[in-house]
Amino acid sequence: NRRIKILNIPVDMVEYPAAMEIFRKLMSSAGCSQIVTPNSEIIVNATKDKELKEIIEQADLVIPDGIGLVYASRIMGMPLSERVTGIDFLSSILEYLEETGQSVFFLGSKPGDGGAPGIAELAAEKIKEKYTNLKIAGVHHGYFKEADEQELISKINASGADFLCAALGSPKQEKFVFTHRNQLNVKAAIGVGGSLDVWAG
Ligand code: UDP
């Protein structure tokens, strides 16, 4: 089986193109699939955070992010020969969405000051330059109150997005997706940490 445990937290020992193969299946299965990309720090956090542990256990795809987990996989006797990083995986996902004409919603990072574009808007512009045919259904910053979450879910659903990138940091992004996955109309959602900041430059 592809799923092993590191510190009693499940991780899928998948490399390209197996990870993308699973991803494509999730995009055509019913309901909102959850993809998590834990690095070593998140795995350690999950040993102390029961809710985060359960979320990872129930995730449809757990991509180990980072060289630390490649070493861990070797110790486990199921070595990963290559690193599937969260950011590389995200690039492959965006390419796939572009090729298949599916749309993405970017949620997270700081809003702009006084009407200026926020990080998510800036990242979306940069992403659009690279993936010129990618449909960006919408963007929203990541500093919302719990009381505003229903409105946000409605906005994501109204955008018609097929896929959600939640860049809220961990464990906020994993908990947000897990809490709302039954209400979300996207086919899958992933937590991408600080990726929008990286894209925005
Ligand atoms: N972030 C957010 N809402 C929050 C807290 C953080 O949108 O309530 C964003 C933050 O602006 C950053 C991203 O989450 O773009 C990742 O934050 P951090 O670097 O702390 O997390 P990591 O990448 O280490 O998971």
The pTM assigned to this predicted structure is 0.94
- How much distance in Å is there from the Cα of 171 to the middle of ligand 1? 9
Residue 159's contacts (CB-CB under 8 Å, 6 or more residues apart) are 103, 105, 137, 138
Neighbouring C-beta atoms of residue 129, cutoff 10 Å = 8
Domains recognised in the chain with CATH numbers: 3-200 (3.40.50.10700)
Atom 19 of ligand 1: nearest residue by CA position: 194
Neighbouring C-beta atoms of residue 184, cutoff 10 Å = 21
| Per-residue confidence in pLDDT tens, the chain, 201 aa | 588 898 999 998 887 788 899 999 999 999 999 999 999 999 999 999 999 999 999 999 998 887 677 777 777 777 766 667 777 889 999 999 999 999 999 999 999 999 899 999 999 999 999 999 999 999 999 999 999 999 999 999 999 999 999 999 999 999 999 999 999 999 999 999 999 999 999
CA 99 to chain centre: 19
Mutate to test the pocket of ligand 1, among 152, 168, 174 (most ligand atoms within 8 A of CB): 168
Tokens for 91?
A: 């690039």
pLDDT given at position 135:
98
Is the minimum distance from the CB of 97 to ligand 1 under 6 angstroms?
A: no
Is the minimum distance from the CB of 193 to ligand 1 under 6 angstroms?
A: yes
SS3 call for 1: coil
* Strand order across the 135-140 sheet: 61-62, 33-36, 188-191, 163-167, 103-108, 135-140
Q: Which residue in 93, 101, 127, 84 sits closest to 24, CA to CA?
A: 93
pLDDT given at position 80:
66
- How much distance in Å is there from the Cα of 146 to the middle of ligand 1? 16
pLDDT given at position 82:
65
Q: How many helices (H) and strands (E) does the chain have?
A: 9, 8
User: The complex's ipTM?
Assistant: 0.94
Is the minimum distance from the CB of 196 to ligand 1 under 6 angstroms?
A: yes
Tokens for 78?
A: 């199921």
